[in-house]
């Protein structure tokens, strides 16, 4: 029997013996790992390991020490090297903007059409892995060359294997400044978290229903893998929300309108609250579970603070700072009152709660600002303000610009209209 026939026969035996095939797929990497394991006798490496406390003091038995080099895929040194590269990319190009998880679909036609007889995709991990690899290359082309999510400056990804053997690849994309999803109004261009209308978009409706519905978990399915201590670790079902927002902690919350579109999954009726965020273009193109999330972007700005009993000058400074703060932090309308409330000190907050019967969180910003102004700013008569103005002086060594700004503020508070004379 020649080598070709032998290899063909071996492949056939492997394919037909399903359990054997699974054992073969899991054993081969271990055998390779053993073959590639490098035995180290380098004293400098031992010193380095002792310094980093990988080895206990005095352990110099080099004959017992095996170290996988970074050239071996999946070894700790390989992962560490990639981590360092990823950090260098972030240092150069900035924080990632999109987080995409591409998961292999065992029901892809390319997989299904290549199965023999009674085989299932679980019996052919060689096939699912190859098809996934080809689709992954296509996905990269779409993202990087065709710029379906905007101009990509840099990306990192890793292929992982889930517990049931199917590969999936989490991506991080760093986009060009003009392509970044900064405004909640533009989130729709990148991510959707709703079930499409079954009449207007029947095909997309079917794809989303098939691939992008979470669970269902909770009371209906307490044994779902996402459940921990009786709660869904992915926080499903989410809340209905009329528009995209950015929460105070920097997280993006996607629009999930309550328009009554429901589908049935595993015997349970689910609606927009159960949809895993996706990009319609990528989902339609690849027909697999592709989760797309906009990364959190939180500017580290300290909120302005307001103390009770302030004067009109301090109030005016506070409102200007507040305006800059809410723009910088991209605080959306739904959390504005709460953010504003917590800029006030404890005394003002207590006064607000006493003064208002309704819910502060549902107030309009201007109404709440008026309430805070009434409670926090002490009213001084024009006469007192004018006396203050008269007593102002330029102390030695003080900054002329600061003095001029204070003078201007005081002139305004004293209701004096400055007039230029020749």
- Please report, as ranges, the residues that interact with Zn ion according to CB under 5 A: 215, 217, 226, 232, 234, 236
266: left (phi over 0), alpha (psi -120 to 50) or beta: left
Q: Are 313 and 299 in contact (CB under 8 A)?
A: no
> How many CB atoms lie under 10 A from the CB of residue 51?
9
Q: Which is nearer to Zn ion, 94 or 218 (CB)?
A: 218
Q: Which is nearer to Zn ion, 106 or 215 (CB)?
A: 215
Give 4-68 as a DSSP string. Answer: HHHHHHHHHHHHH-HHHHHHHHHHHHHHHHHHHPEE---HHHHHHHHHTTSS-TT---GGG-EE-
Please report how close the Cβ of residue 280 comes to Zn ion at its closest, in angstroms: 23
> What's CA 245's distance to the chain center, in Å?
13
Please report how close the Cβ of residue 235 comes to Zn ion at its closest, in angstroms: 8
d(CA 20, CA 33): 20
DSSP-derived secondary structure letter, 310: B
Q: Which is nearer to Zn ion, 222 or 260 (CB)?
A: 222
d(CA 272, CA 281): 19
Q: At what angle do helices 346-355 and 365-376 cross, to 10 degrees?
A: 110
d(CA 277, CA 213): 9
Q: Which is nearer to Zn ion, 101 or 129 (CB)?
A: 101
Q: Are 360 and 353 in contact (CB under 8 A)?
A: yes
Please report how close the Cβ of residue 262 comes to Zn ion at its closest, in angstroms: 18
Please report how close the Cβ of residue 232 comes to Zn ion at its closest, in angstroms: 3
Residue with tokens 């689709």: 135
Q: Which is nearer to Zn ion, 20 or 220 (CB)?
A: 220
Please report how close the Cβ of residue 254 comes to Zn ion at its closest, in angstroms: 17
Please report how close the Cβ of residue 216 comes to Zn ion at its closest, in angstroms: 8
Q: Which is nearer to Zn ion, 236 or 278 (CB)?
A: 236
Please report how close the Cβ of residue 57 comes to Zn ion at its closest, in angstroms: 47
Q: Is 173 helix (H, G, I), strand (E, B) or coil?
A: strand
Q: Which is nearer to Zn ion, 232 or 368 (CB)?
A: 232
């Amino acid at each position: 029997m020649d080598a070709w026939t032998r290899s063909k026969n071996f492949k056939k035996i492997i394919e037909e013996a399903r359990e054997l095939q699974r054992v073969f797929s899991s054993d081969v990497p271990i055998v390779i790992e053993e073959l590639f394991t490098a035995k180290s006798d380098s004293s400098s490496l031992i010193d380095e390991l002792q310094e980093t406390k990988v080895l206990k003091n005095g352990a110099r038995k080099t004959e017992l020490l095996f170290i996988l080099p970074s050239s071996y895929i999946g070894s700790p040194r390989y992962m560490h090297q990639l981590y360092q590269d990823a950090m260098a990319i972030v240092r150069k190009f900035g924080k990632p903007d999109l987080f995409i998880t591409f998961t292999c679909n065992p029901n892809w036609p390319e997989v299904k059409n290549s199965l023999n007889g009674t085989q299932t995709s679980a019996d052919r991990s060689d096939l699912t892995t190859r098809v996934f690899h080809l689709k992954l290359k296509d996905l990269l082309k779409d993202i990087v060359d065709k710029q379906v999510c905007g101009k990509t400056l840099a990306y990192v990804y890793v292929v992982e294997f889930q517990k049931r053997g199917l590969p999936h690849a989490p991506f991080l994309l760093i986009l060009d400044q003009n392509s970044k999803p900064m405004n909640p109004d533009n989130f729709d261009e990148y991510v959707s978290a709703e079930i499409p209308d079954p009449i207007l978009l029947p095909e997309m409706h079917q794809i989303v229903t098939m691939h992008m519905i979470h669970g269902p978990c909770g009371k209906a399915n307490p044994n779902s893998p996402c459940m921990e201590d009786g709660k869904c670790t992915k926080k499903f079902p989410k809340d209905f929300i009329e528009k995209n927002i950015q929460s105070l902690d920097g997280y993006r919350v996607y629009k999930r309108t309550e328009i009554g579109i429901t589908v049935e999954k595993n015997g349970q009726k689910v609606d927009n609250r159960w949809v895993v965020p996706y990009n319609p273009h990528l989902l339609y193109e690849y027909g697999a579970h592709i989760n797309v999330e906009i990364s959190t972007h939180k500017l580290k700005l300290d909120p302005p603070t307001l103390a009770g009993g302030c004067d009109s000058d301090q109030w005016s400074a506070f409102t200007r700072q507040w305006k800059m703060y809410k723009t910088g932090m991209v605080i959306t309308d739904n959390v504005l009152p709460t953010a504003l409330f917590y800029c006030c000190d404890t005394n003002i907050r207590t006064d607000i709660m006493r003064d208002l019967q309704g819910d502060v969180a549902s107030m309009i910003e201007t109404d709440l600002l008026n309430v805070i102004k009434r409670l926090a700013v002490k009213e001084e008569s024009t006469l007192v303000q004018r006396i203050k103005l008269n007593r102002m002086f330029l102390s030695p060594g003080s900054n002329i610009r600061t003095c001029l700004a204070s003078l201007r503020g005081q002139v305004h508070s004293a209701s004096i209209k400055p007039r230029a004379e020749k």
